[in-house]
Structure 1
Amino acid sequence: MNAPARIPLHVEMATASRVAAQLIAAGIDETDPDFAELMASETDVLERLRRILRAARHTEAQSKALGEIAAEMRERRARLDKKAERLRGVVLEAMGELGLTKLEGPDLTATVSDGKPKVVITDEAALPDDACVFKREPSKTAIAAALAEGSVAGAEWSNPAPVLTVRTR
């Protein structure tokens, strides 16, 4: 019976754990110089982990590419929105020059009417506080600096989390 070409990682790891337990039960434990060699020959988990890291790098590259495409699409959308606005402006001006308030076609009807007045801020500093919106947002940079000096009510340092650093050649 031939072994499958690719053994699923969870099966391989479970088998490696069972083999390690059996070796220990047989009196060959981590202190035995042969233990590491015997376990290394039973599993290729390190290569699997390398493959997982390569997959993570590939996924990050795809994410970055999609982010760039999304940014390009947002820019394109903004250009198209501005173009549509300019085209409508051309029609509005022409209808005004022609004295038209209504333009009909088989697929659309355009009408010119008075718009609503818009708010214009002439002096932002002169506005009363009740006419403004204030956003309260914690500054983690300022809080970290204050925590470095002592305690801060409502904030504390977290326990450090392990960080995986991957360097490529």
Structure 2
Amino acid sequence: MNAPTRVPLHVEMATASRVAAQLIAAGIDETDPDFAELMASETDIQDRLVRVLRAARYTEAQSDALAEIIKDNRERKARLDKKVEDLRSVVIQAMGELGLKKLAGPDLGASLSVGKPKVQVIDPAALPDDVCVFKREPSKTAIAAALAEGPVSGAEWSNPAPVLTVRTR
């Protein structure tokens, strides 16, 4: 492995100052628990950047965990919503069989009435266009293929951005 090339101190300090300003601009300031750790490095900008990457990996792990919790909670909500529907359906059926129009309890009251008819779509392909909603969304895959062939009105290639690859050991 090659030894890292030494960066002149004035360049390192200017970059460190810019990194600190960018962290603050990104909302990572004295109120953020990661701020003190990210700013703890003395003058070695490379050490500071490694700390920033570690913070990014940790934050990404938190984001992934939160996404999993959200997914689980969505599934739980769907189960609870179905349970509500099933419980109400049981009461509707029983009230209908018993001929009850009203039901009273110490904490709630319920009444059974005829509802409004709901729209049922039997064959979506047979519906006329004037009763449908169409979503116009650019297909970046199709645009990229068209741009490879030549100019496309309303689209162009961007300048390539640097890509950071982080490998863990």
TM range (shorter): 0.7 to 0.9
User: Could you tell me which amino acid in structure 2 is paired with residue 149 of structure 1?
Assistant: E
Q: Distance in 2 between matches of 1:68 and 1:141?
A: 28
The alignment-based identity, stated in percent, is 77
| Structure 1 SS opposite 2:158 | coil
Question: What amino acid is aligned across from residue 160 of structure 2 in structure 1?
Answer: P
Unaligned 5+ segments in structure 1 are 1-11, 18-41
Secondary structure in 2 aligned to 1:47?
helix
Alpha-carbon RMSD: 2.0
1:97 aligns with 2:97: yes
The 2-side partners of 1:110 and 1:116 are apart by 18
Q: What 5-or-longer segments of structure 2 have no aligned partner?
A: 1-11, 18-41
Residue aligning to 2:63: 63
TM-aligned CA deviation for residue 76 of structure 1 = 0.4
- Shift of the alpha carbon at 1:132? 1.1
Paired with 1:74 and 1:127, the residues of 2 have a C-alpha distance of 32
- AA aligned opposite 2:86: R
Q: Distance in 2 between matches of 1:127 and 1:63?
A: 42
Q: Deviations over 1:98-129 (max 9, x none)?
A: 11010011111111011110112233232221
* Residue matched to 1:141: 141
Distance in 2 separating the partners of 1:78 and 1:49: 43
Instruction: Tell me the residue number matched to 1:72.
Output: 72
Task: Report the AA paired with residue 69 of structure 1.
Answer: I
Task: Tell me, in whole angstroms, the C-alpha distance in 2 between the residues paired with 1:88 and 1:117.
Answer: 18
Q: TM-score, normalised by structure 2?
A: 0.74
> Whole-Å Cα distance in 2 between the matches of residues 51 and 124 of structure 1?
55
SS in 2 for 1:159: coil
User: Does residue 107 of structure 1 match 2:134?
Assistant: no
Superposition misfits of 4+ residues, deviation over 6 angstroms: none
Task: State the alpha-carbon separation in 1 of the partners of residues 81 and 124 from structure 2.
Answer: 29
- Aligned positions of 1:17-56 closer than 5 A: 43-56=43-56
Larger Cα-atom Rg: 1
Q: What is the CA distance between 1:141 and its match in structure 2?
A: 0.3
SS at match of 1:165: coil
SS at match of 1:13: helix
